[in-house]
Structure 1
């Protein structure tokens, strides 16, 4: 690959910062989130949102708790202009939600933008932008540093003239391509805007510093943000904002480090939609905070409903491995992961019991799951799924959660071999229903040699009537040792079964399952029986073992 064509940009974007403070900082509170899905995200769609989709998206973001929402680019299209007007005429925005509108630094477009928010009683932010980086100045704008600075100030004066007397309107400036702009120049331009707009603590100016195109590692962006944070004039009258894109795939890291470096506000899209590789993903940022014990101040408790709305509005699917919201992000196929998760869930339940608290009240400490899926409205049904990469832990977990079957460990190991053969043959994922069918076919087949005709308990004895090779036979065995006693009696019919262990447990439907470990013809095997009582379940396990004693008659087929 022709890597020599690309110069190292680090030296171009580095800032004169030596004793940086951001590496030692910690995020202890959520920044102000500003979703730009209706503007920046909408511009990046092959089919921009129609009015119905824009309204549904806006109402979703209000319901999630966003307090500042960028709603459009009113000078770019009639659709955007009309939607901004609709917010006011239809009363779509609660009083505590600030509406942001976006405009280039050009008077006619500013006039159109100001007209779109006429009559809005909510707080409004007019967001003006101009590219400031050298390549953009030279190639796109064809202006010098001084000329671009004057262009920005002229547009700032236009905004003051057209909207400066409205108490509910504040101002935002973005030096587009901030991360490639000379530090001294961008500082000069930003300071000139806070002076022009007379930024005060009561009416602060938003300075938004975008990583319009990611060109360096996140630590470089953090240095740039900290440099601005420490050197801006009127700092107490500035809301320092960032708008990272994701060209290098590190937009989330850039935003997190920028907050450590002094940013107070983050612009992005709910699931990271945006030009090229997208804007920063607010869901990931917010739930990263949640996973660290910090309230994200945005409600993702029904993340699948949010995803469905976003997918409808954007006509774009959310990938299965997308952090926190993807279909498979809480799912383990790997055997080692499944075993750890299974044990983690069991320990979590036990800890809740010991503390006499609900499982939702105690600290979350389950391997491989950074947050409880229930926090975002997910059930545990798909946490473990079985394929050819899975092991006994995942198999046992599915059988327990779906069918209340607690397989003994040695049976788990034995059954895992059967499942492995099945998945190798089919190459497909195995559902819980397929696992149950395979389990019963392997360890509890319908018997052709021995059938239980009747059973009743009388005076600590189990009275059985069995059909053994076509001959009805009555047996009386102790209720306390039904498996051992029946196995001994069946030796008379030529069935060699030595009981090694019997494990039984009740099921929620009132039935009992018995797991029988036995030896026959020198081999250790397993059988399973189901019954209304512990005794009849053990008898059923012995009957299954007797049937399995002639294995060639019982090929396992669950296809």
Structure 2
């Protein structure tokens, strides 16, 4: 690209090596989660939520299990102020949930914020001011000391207002635009605030280090977090929090590496809603932990319902490829993927292993409210016999022989290709029933009977072109006798009759299913399926279906 030289790396590495986080393999416990959907997320919507929508969204976040929820910037507008007052006055905040409010380090905003908090049981008051080099030079045109003074004066006023206001308050400070701030200066600002607040074991504070704008690769952010975590004053009484945005598309990685580097708390939103490219997606972050056997302490057992409420209230859309949540993320269209998944699911059914390890499925879709039937394997022209057979078996109980799956698979793929569309399970089932099951043309089976005391002599009643007739045959068994009657009386020839049967376990349990293949003189294999309440009759119907397939092929040839 032509203008690459106009860009430079605007971030700052720590003044000393901070790489201990690289020795950790994975996150071992859930962080403190704080949802900022109602503040950071809401302010990024094209049409922000109204009061009723915000109240419903708050209840959704509580149901998910968030114990800390940032409810807004109450001094910013009457809508924000009214929302907070409604939560407090209508006693809508559960006792185990702490609300959080945001305030700039400006006196009138801080005082208005505490006015909005009157009567609350517990709240985090989140103070921030921007510290980055770009903001200092271009926006505020202030020195480092002047920026420190803004933070310190705000911290002092928070402490004073908390003492004057009834309630239980915890303090949080964010050096906004942290990722564009010289790390030693960010540390100096944070420690200056900590020295004012004097946190204790009984009253810890939160230092939030936001990736307000992503400027580096995730490992740099992790090193920044580790350095800050190791040099903050009164560290044992400080909760280190991260607030990653997603400008470079690495919000999840920033949060995960940040936790490895010492962060104990994460601020983010459902599905990553937020300004520009969004905030860190807590759904993905939590389910990443879940996939490693770590309880995220949030309830995502019904993601489809969560998406429905989220999309209705925010007017945003969750992409089909969104990790874990997207409509297609557990879906395989590829034949080889479908085959591996189908075999993996069968192996799991047979072996009953302790841990989940199905190919191509990082977690069990059932755990988050998805289904095997409609989500795992979907059929189009790229699909394979394994996936098509799996769909028939899972939803309709039809366990086709391997070779029949292959035969039917090519047929279905051709239909999908010609129609240029995905085929739904019911469409696949309809094709199977139409092309293979109980086929009555050109020869319709009516009934059979065997001679008294001789199971190997049979008379079969058939119907051809509306005319009913009887044919007779003998053989080494009942099905062989009927097969011989068909060949001798109708003049059809075939060999290598193969047979499989099973009970139809889904739907009507009283039915039996039979599958038969026959080989024409030229070597072409033809398949038929019969379904009936009587196992012998189902096998006869399967034989007639296969013979009719052969007859159709002969006529078309």
Structure 1 length-normalised TM = 0.93
The 2-side partners of 1:66 and 1:425 are apart by: 49
Structure 2 length-normalised TM = 0.94
Give yes or no for contact 1:461–1:476 (8 Å, CA) kept in 2. no
The 2-side partners of 1:72 and 1:442 are apart by: 61
SS for the counterpart of 2:48 is coil
CA deviations 1:381-421 (Å, max 9, x no partner) are 12110001110111001111121111111111112211222
User: Relative to 1, partners in 2 of residues 1:197 and 1:4: Cα closer, same or farther, differing over 3 Å?
Assistant: same
Match of 2:447 in 1: 454
The 2-side partners of 1:196 and 1:397 are apart by: 65
Match of 1:359 in 2: none
Gaps of 5+ in 1: 356-361
User: Relative to 1, partners in 2 of residues 1:477 and 1:66: Cα closer, same or farther, differing over 3 Å?
Assistant: farther
**Cα drift, residue 79 of structure 1:** 0.8
Q: Which shifted more, 433-442 or 96-105?
A: 433-442
Match of 1:257 in 2: 257
Give yes or no for contact 1:483–1:499 (8 Å, CA) kept in 2. no
SS for the counterpart of 2:348 is helix
CA deviations 1:286-338 (Å, max 9, x no partner) are 01000000000001111112111111221111111111111111111111111
Give yes or no for contact 2:229–2:262 (8 Å, CA) kept in 1. yes
Match of 1:550 in 2: 551
Give yes or no for contact 2:119–2:167 (8 Å, CA) kept in 1. no
CA deviations 1:369-388 (Å, max 9, x no partner) are 11111111112112110001
Match of 1:161 in 2: 160
**Cα drift, residue 7 of structure 1:** 3.4
The 1-side partners of 2:473 and 2:531 are apart by: 20
**Cα drift, residue 511 of structure 1:** 1.4
SS for the counterpart of 1:501 is strand
Give yes or no for contact 1:219–1:257 (8 Å, CA) kept in 2. yes
Gaps of 5+ in 2: none
The 2-side partners of 1:405 and 1:149 are apart by: 72
Match of 2:236 in 1: 236
Equivalent of residue 374 in structure 1, options 366, 391, 398: 366
* Equivalent residue runs for 1:121-520 within 5 Å: 121=121, 123-164=122-163, 168-352=168-352, 362-382=354-374, 383-444=376-437, 446-455=439-448, 461=455, 465-469=460-464, 470-473=467-470, 475=472, 481-492=477-488, 493-508=490-505, 509=508, 510-520=510-520
User: Relative to 1, partners in 2 of residues 1:83 and 1:468: Cα closer, same or farther, differing over 3 Å?
Assistant: closer
Give yes or no for contact 1:450–1:466 (8 Å, CA) kept in 2. no
Q: Which shifted more, 276-285 or 362-371?
A: 362-371
SS for the counterpart of 1:175 is strand
Q: Which shifted more, 490-499 or 174-183?
A: 490-499
Give yes or no for contact 2:107–2:157 (8 Å, CA) kept in 1. yes
The 2-side partners of 1:120 and 1:274 are apart by: 27
The 2-side partners of 1:513 and 1:178 are apart by: 67
Q: Which shifted more, 542-551 or 316-325?
A: 542-551
Match of 1:39 in 2: 39
SS for the counterpart of 1:83 is helix
The 2-side partners of 1:107 and 1:2 are apart by: 47
**Cα drift, residue 149 of structure 1:** 0.9
The 2-side partners of 1:43 and 1:488 are apart by: 78
Give yes or no for contact 1:207–1:240 (8 Å, CA) kept in 2. yes
Give yes or no for contact 1:27–1:260 (8 Å, CA) kept in 2. yes
The 1-side partners of 2:401 and 2:547 are apart by: 20
Match of 1:536 in 2: 537
